[in-house]
Amino acid sequence: MSDFLQGMAYLLLGVKYLLTKGLKRYIVLPIAFNFVLFIGLFYLVYHYLFPYSYYYLDKLPSWLSFLSGVLLVIFIISFFLLFLSMFTVLFNLIAAPFNGLLAEKAQKCLYGTSIPSLTFSQIAIRSIKRQGQFIRFFLPRFLAMCVLFFVPFIHPVYPFLWFIFNAWILSVQYQDFAMDNNLVDFQQMRERIKKNKMVSLGFGSLINLLSFVPVVNILTMPAAVIGGVLIYDEQHKTLYKPAIKLLDAE
């Protein structure tokens, strides 16, 4: 349980360090991308999810009408997480070069270390290729989760399954920016994250939870990128001087 809470703490630290000197200008574009992401999400929920949910619930037999409120909540949470998963992957694909640059600057500002030197265009190309690897990892799992929606007896626990799935996917995606910058290949990245399952799940779970909080959710993308850097560097304490302590002292 302590590892799970530690994972959550990394995201909170990510929020704390958003305004760190040297990072401010690099968080503008990720915040803008996240703003567009959540505008799109709430548009889909309002214009498509609610009408679909009410249409589906109207098909219930009268003797199950007392469950309509519960099922409405299940549908809304499930589909919000579904849309969040799809949109986050899409927007992180577009924002990958900027998130990669933010991760690089965060590592330099907070830990005083630099990644292998590359031009922005090289970072952009490498980030897009990496996101292609992530999509191949993500897509079959995402489709399997979608198929589970049509299994009736799973509906009561479906939002929880989606929550755990989404938490894991978000954790992998945001931790990967720092690992990719440090030339950790995709398979090694997955193995490292598996070794810290509870930390990773706690990190992704809080990203999920904050996504439901208006205004705060706009900050989740850059905060999660910085949090991913913190997780990466905390696993290499013998290699890196903990510059965060110096920042705290100031």
- DSSP secondary structure string, the chain? -HHHHHHHHHHHHHHHGGG-TTTGGGSHHHHHHHHHHHHHHHHHIIIIIHHHHHHHHHTS-GGGGGGHHHHHHHHHHHHHHHHHHHHHHHHHHHHHHHHHHHHHHHHHHHH---PPP--HHHHHHHHHHHHHHHHHHHHHHHHHHHHHTT-GGGGGGHHHHHHHHHHHHHHHHHHHHHHHHTT--HHHHHHHHHHTHHHHHHHHHHHHHHTTSTTGGGGHHHHHHHHHHHHHHHTTTTTS--HHHHHHH-
Q: How far is CA 181 from each of CA 15, 40, 78, 224, rounded to the nearest angstrom? A: 21, 29, 33, 15
Cβ contacts of 62 within 8 Å, gap of 6 or more: none
Q: What is the pLDDT of residue 22?
A: 82
At 64, the amino acid letter reads: L
Alpha carbon 34 to its chain's center:
11
Q: What is the pLDDT of residue 59?
A: 66
Q: What is the pLDDT of residue 250?
A: 41
List the chain pLDDT tens, one digit each, 250 residues.
788 999 999 999 999 998 888 888 888 877 887 788 778 777 776 777 667 766 666 666 666 666 666 777 777 777 777 777 777 777 777 777 788 888 988 998 888 877 766 676 776 777 778 878 888 998 899 899 888 877 877 877 888 888 899 899 999 989 998 988 888 889 989 988 988 899 999 999 999 888 778 778 788 889 999 999 999 988 654 444 444 444 444 4
Q: What is the pLDDT of residue 40?
A: 76
